[in-house]
């Protein structure tokens, strides 16, 4: 079982040293990738020129730009709602950056009440993510929102 509270405390401590979004999100993706079992990708997409642009991540090569409303990430950002998908192959408009991904969870990130990016986590297992993962990752993102300096990231 993943200790999301501990992960939140760890990223908070790292962000206190240097709150810039590049180092914080780089460390956050490494923390998540190393501490959550059965992942093949963990990272971030950030708002840029009206779409999501690839940010810091751990895993295989990824899609560089995702339009709002497209795929799981674009849907999460466009609807401002966490997307927990048991089988990405059944998700309308899924963007297959890595054919090995079978389930996915995407959590919107906010600044000033607006979506400025998403946390995206993929697994090669079907139905890998639970409601407990959803709550834990949403709490983790709240820590990021509070302690990260997102200056330079565009708003939706």
Please report, for the chain, the start and end positions of each structural domain, with discontinuous segments joined by +. Answer: 4-147
| Half-sphere exposure at residue 6, Cβ-oriented, CA atoms within 13 angstroms | 7
Q: What's the pLDDT tens digit per position in 13-69?
A: 999 989 999 999 999 999 999 999 999 999 999 999 999 999 999 999 999 999 999
Overall fold of domain 4-147: Beta-Lactamase (3.30.450)
**Angstrom distances, CA of residue 35 to CA of 3, 38, 86:** 8, 10, 20
- Whether 99 shows a pLDDT value over 80: the answer reads no
Instruction: Name the pairing type of β-strands 51-59 and 65-67.
Output: antiparallel
Helix and strand element counts for the chain (H, E): 4, 6
Q: Are 116 and 48 in contact (CB under 8 A)?
A: no
pTM for the full predicted model? 0.95
Residues 6+ apart with CB under 8 A from 69: 75, 78
Mean pLDDT of 116-137: 97
């Amino acid at each position: 079982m993943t200790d999301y509270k501990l992960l939140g405390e760890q990223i908070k401590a790292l962000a206190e040293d240097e709150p810039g979004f590049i180092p914080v999100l780089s460390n956050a993706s490494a923390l998540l990738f190393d501490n959550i079992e059965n992942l093949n990708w963990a990272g971030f997409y950030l708002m840029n020129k009206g779409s999501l642009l690839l940010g810091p991540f751990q895993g295989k090569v990824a899609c560089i730009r995702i339009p709002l409303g497209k795929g799981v990430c674009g849907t999460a950002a466009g609807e401002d709602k966490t997307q927990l998908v048991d089988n990405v192959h059944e998700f309308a408009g899924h963007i297959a950056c890595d054919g090995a991904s079978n389930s996915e969870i995407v959590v919107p990130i906010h600044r000033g009440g607006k979506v400025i990016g998403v946390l995206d986590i993929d697994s090669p297992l079907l139905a890998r993510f639970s409601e407990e993962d959803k709550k834990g990752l949403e709490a983790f993102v709240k820590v990021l929102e509070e302690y990260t300096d997102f200056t330079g990231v565009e708003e939706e």
